[in-house]
Amino acid sequence: MSRATPHVVRFAIEVGPAVTGPVFVQLNDEDPGVGWLRASRGGTRVFLQERCAIPDCGAEPVVCGAAIPFVQNIAGPGAARRVEFAWDGLISVVDSVARCETRRPAPPGEYVARFCYSREAEFPAGPDSTRAAPGRLLRPICVERTFTPEDTEVVLTI
């Protein structure tokens, strides 16, 4: 049985005041999704946002462009020292016959959030310590945290 009204769950990677940078995160995924966060339940990936590659049921299909991965140093000079995503409690459910997606409240239970960051990144055009830029993480460090859809926040503190 799912909740009638989903609430917001805050996911974040936060850098403690004593930690020196850099701390790089991948901002976006292959879809416009969050690159530094993946969720799963029972070993199966759960999509916390709509996917561009699968049309919404009952809506006109849209054309998706190839997503360019952007990387940002969240511990650089003047950086916010955190990155966050507010999840509305909805997950993608794919209709295998119609091959389309609907968003529904996540069923109760235990999920796993996988947060990834790195101390190294590669930027084809050279690094910019203050802004997001096309690039990729090198030797990412990933940490898992369990959560439920009823939680209010799930935070990895570095």
**The predicted structure's pLDDT at residue 6:** 59
- Average pLDDT for residues 133-138, to the nearest whole number? 94
pLDDT of 1 strictly over 70? no
Residues 63-120 have pLDDT tens digits of: 776 678 999 999 988 899 999 999 999 999 999 898 899 999 999 999 999 999 999 9
- Average pLDDT for residues 8-14, to the nearest whole number? 98
Tokens encoding 119: 């101390």
C-alpha closest to that of 132 among 52, 47, 35: 35
**The predicted structure's pLDDT at residue 124:** 87
**The predicted structure's pLDDT at residue 121:** 96
For every residue of 111-153, DSSP letters joined together read EEEEEEEBSEEE-TT---TTS-EE-EEES-EEEEEEE-TT-SE
pTM of the model: 0.90
Share of the chain above pLDDT 70, in %: 90
**Please, where are the H alpha helices in 1-133?**
none
**The predicted structure's pLDDT at residue 3:** 46
**The predicted structure's pLDDT at residue 53:** 79
Share of the chain above pLDDT 90, in %: 70
User: What is the chain's mean pLDDT, rounded?
Assistant: 90
Whether the CA torsion 78, 83, 88, 90 is positive or negative: it is: positive
Diameter over CA atoms, the chain: 52
**The predicted structure's pLDDT at residue 2:** 44
- Average pLDDT for residues 36-47, to the nearest whole number? 97
